[in-house]
Amino acid sequence: MPTPTPTPSPPTVSSVSPDIFHQGESFRFTFSLINKTTSPYDDVYVFCHSVKNNGDTWTQPVNRASGAISLAAGASGDVTVDAIVPMDQTLGNHTLSYYVHYADSIDEYRTPDYSETVAVEGANQDVTATVSPDAFGPGESGQFTFFLENHSPSPYEDVYVFCYSVDKDGETWTQPVNQASAAVTVPGGGTEDVTVDAETAGDQAPGTYTLSYYIHFTATGDREFHTPYEKTVTVSE
């Protein structure tokens, strides 16, 4: 019988970064690869199965592949895979599972599944908001003003507020419903204001309501954060 051709050694994964994400963060994993063999490889990519913690799975990656690159003998290169952490993701360590695909002039191959431990921390609260007013009357139209403050020394871009609703036991205001403010840049240590339209129905029941919203902001390197908040507002008699 002919001797089977041995599978060539795969590209080495020298690092996976970042290894810490925040709840509500959208970014990407970067896989740094090195071809330590004497042969070139084509169609080199990483395929991510998932990121899990006891069955609790991130939004992305789920069965998602990076773009493909070629690696000459001794060469190195990076590939990326998008990652999205839900705003209510369980805190603590999670397991990223993936494999590396590669090909030479004879065949294509894949590694066994690899795993990497990554951590989820609480939502990024570098940008917070003070909201006013906190009371409207029935049939009143106006605006919520969000006074944004950047508590970090670094600027944030594409900063906006997204309001889900103002709700009390299933009864909602006419506005806002899934409505976003304009986007602004907030310098490090700086402040900016944004507004979202608000309107109550003419027969809006008086009482205490909950304004649910998140603040979106983007850091250098395109790390995006979505941090949820709630604000108590009232409808007067």
Say yes or no: domain 12-121 is CATH 3.40.220.10: no
Residue 208 pairs in a beta bridge with 234
Q: What is the pLDDT along the chain (237 residues), one digit of tens a residue?
A: 454 556 899 999 999 999 999 999 999 999 999 999 999 999 999 999 999 998 899 999 999 999 999 999 999 999 999 999 999 999 999 999 999 999 999 999 999 999 999 999 999 999 999 999 999 999 999 999 999 999 999 999 999 999 999 999 999 999 999 999 999 999 999 999 999 999 999 999 999 999 999 999 999 888 999 999 999 999 998
pLDDT of 120: 97
In CATH, 127-235 is 3.40.190.10: no
Q: How much is the pLDDT for 221?
A: 82
Q: How far apart, in Å, are the Cα atoms of 64 and each of 70, 88, 178?
A: 19, 22, 29
Q: How far is the C-alpha of 166 from the C-alpha of 1, rounded, in Å?
A: 74
| 33 within 8 A of 11, measured Cβ to Cβ | yes
3-state per-residue secondary structure call for the chain: CCCCCCCCCCCEEEEEECCEEECCEEEEEEEEEECCCCCCEEEEEEEEEEEEECCEECCECCCEECCCEEECCCCEEEEEEEEECCCCCCCEEEEEEEEEEEECCCCEEECCCEEEEEEEECCCCCEEEEEECCEECCCCEEEEEEEEEECCCCCEEEEEEEEEEEEECCEECCECCCEECCCEEECCCCEEEEEEEEECCCCCCCEEEEEEEEEEEECCCCCEEEEEEEEEEEECC
Please state the domain extents for the chain.
Answer: 12-121, 127-235
User: Whole-model pTM?
Assistant: 0.90
